[in-house]
Chains A and B, each alone.
Chain A
Amino acid sequence: MEDKFNCSCGYSICIRKSVTVSMACPSCRTLYCFGNNEFIKLSTLKPITEDVSPLKINTEGVLESKEFRITGRQQIIYNSSYRNLWSATYKSGEHFQIGESYGTYTIIKELSAQVSPTKFRNLKIGKEIELPPRHFFYVNGMHEMKELAVEGDFPIPIILQPKCLSIELSNNKFEFVIINIFGDSDIRISSGHFLNFEDFSFKNTRNLNEWI
């Protein structure tokens, strides 16, 4: 079910009733988050930068015979790289994220595991660490977040923190983990696995005729 929300700039935004938790106004880039039965204005973000991604809002796909649709994107710009976190929802309402960076694709879900930030201090590229339950990973990227741009709507809250260290880990089982350390102590761990572009059976992508 859809509903309408009027942004302070006057733009009327379609939202998913009882689903949308965060959203960005496509006109003025104001980010809203749902709380106390209303959408609260959080911040005005920079517009999404062109990154030649083949995906867009409303791109659809199929994973494990389940159809999904992309409803939002967080474009995270680090000091020397970038990552798109596409927010996708299956028809059943189940939510997941598609990580996209330089032609590599991952499906990601946030873990509820509580881990002490001390575990991730003094990490170095190539270092092996163990994450519960008995999964071993290697650190292959550590990036300071520089900017965040958002488009679309999300069934999850978007975290806005001026300081975020993003640690990327992978192993030899196609598994993937991102540890985001917001500020000094707020840790969010997301895990998932790598897939090929073709594995998503995307449709309604941007026009890729020249590239297929």
Chain B
Amino acid sequence: MFKLRNYLIILAILLSIYLYAALTGWKFFGSNSEKWSPKQEKGHHK
């Protein structure tokens, strides 16, 4: 059964995700880069 409370929770989550994405530059389905950081692999060269 559909519960209004559940829908409110879903809306709150969606809105949070949207705001979080706007703040951090997260584009949904947008990034296809592979991230590498120096901690992951010793001896990696630029």
Whether A and B touch directly in their complex, counting CB atoms under 8 A apart, is answered as no
- Which residues does A use to contact B, with CB under 8 Å? none
- Which residues does B use to contact A, with CB under 8 Å? none
